[in-house]
Amino acid sequence: DIQMTQSPSSLSASVGDRVTITCRASQSISSYLHWHQHKPGKAPKLLIYAASSLQGGVPSRFSGRGSGTDFTLTISSLQPEDFATYYCQQSYSTPITFGQGTKLEIK
Amino acid sequence: EVQLVESGGGLVQPGRSLRLSCAASGFTFDDYAMHWVRQAPGKGLEWVSGISWNSGNIGYADSVKGRFTISRDNAKNSLYLQMNSLKVEDTALYYCAKDTGIAAPPGDAFDIWGQGTMVTVSS
């Protein structure tokens, strides 16, 4: 199974900050890497697919980079609605696996 | 409106069975693969199972293989998860998710998610 490791596990930041979350795969997954945002009591939401493509309707302050084993999700200027948990997910091989999540909290 | 609505969750004793359903609307259901993903209390997301558009390709997490069965009825725009021999560790919120592709698993990204249905396994 491909292990997905996110860092950090939690992060405190302020509105307007630039934040970056890292996701590392235990083997190369090309660009089969996607990022989801999850808020309590809500359905998860796809932000970025194929490592760097912005899902329709997602604000441009979200961006993704990487290929192979190392990936990043960057939020250029945090907004109040961005405080949530973020998960990376690989679809290179079965079983599909998620990172453990990064909880983004208000400082 | 594109929507997925799960149902069928509840409280069940260990060893018993439960069948989850997911009703899809707002898109051409049989053009896409579908998945079940769960989240145990206080934990992260865990992929459970996926099925291709025509049920020709199916996959399961090792934790549920041999106990859970995924299926779909394209005529009814519905996805199902038959869960047998339930264990306490199966307690979770179960989400239905739409793939952006046709041939999962493993497939592509999950672009539409339902709100989830809660399954509690306890004596």
Tens of pLDDT, residues A1-44 = 999 999 999 999 999 999 999 999 999 999 999 999 999 999 99
pLDDT band at B62, cuts 50/70/90? Answer: very high
- To the nearest whole angstrom, how far is the Cα of A80 from the nearest Cα of chain B? 22
Res. B104: pLDDT tops 90 = no
Instruction: From A89, A84, A107, A106, select the one nearest A4 (Cα to Cα).
Output: A89
**B47 Cα distance to chain centroid:** 9
Give the best residue of B36, B110, B117 to mutate against chain A (max A CB count within 10 A): B110
Query: Which residues of chain B make contact with A96, given a CB cutoff of 8 A?
Result: 35, 47, 50, 105-107
Our CA-based measurement puts residue A4 at a distance from the nearest CA of chain B, in whole angstroms, of 12
Give the mean model confidence (pLDDT) for residues B40-68: 97
Chain A CB contacts of B100 below 8 Å: 49
Minimum-distance CB partner of B50 among A55, A90, A96:
A96
Strands A102-106 and A10-13: parallel
Q: Give the residue among B13, B8, B47 at the shortest CA–CA distance from B120.
A: B13
- How do residues A66-89 score in pLDDT, each as one tens digit? 999 999 999 999 999 999 999 999
- What is the distance between the alpha carbons of residues B24 and B5, in angstroms, rounded to a whole number? 7
pLDDT of residue A54: 98
A40 touches chain B (CB under 8 A): no
Which helix H or strand E contains A97, and what residues bound it?
strand A97-98
Mean pLDDT of B75-88: 98
Nearest neighbour of B111 by CB, restricted to A55, A87, A97: A55
Task: Name A54's Cβ contacts closer than 8 Å, sequence gap at least 6.
Answer: A47, A48, A60, A62, A63, A64
**Residue B42 to residue A71: CA distance in whole angstroms:** 25
The one-letter amino acid at A28: S
Confidence of residue A52 (pLDDT cuts 50, 70, 90): very high
pLDDT band of B107, cuts 50, 70, 90: confident
pLDDT of residue A10: 97
Interval B38-49 mean pLDDT:
97
Give the whole-angstrom CA distance, residue A21 versus residue A53: 16
pLDDT at B102 over 90: no
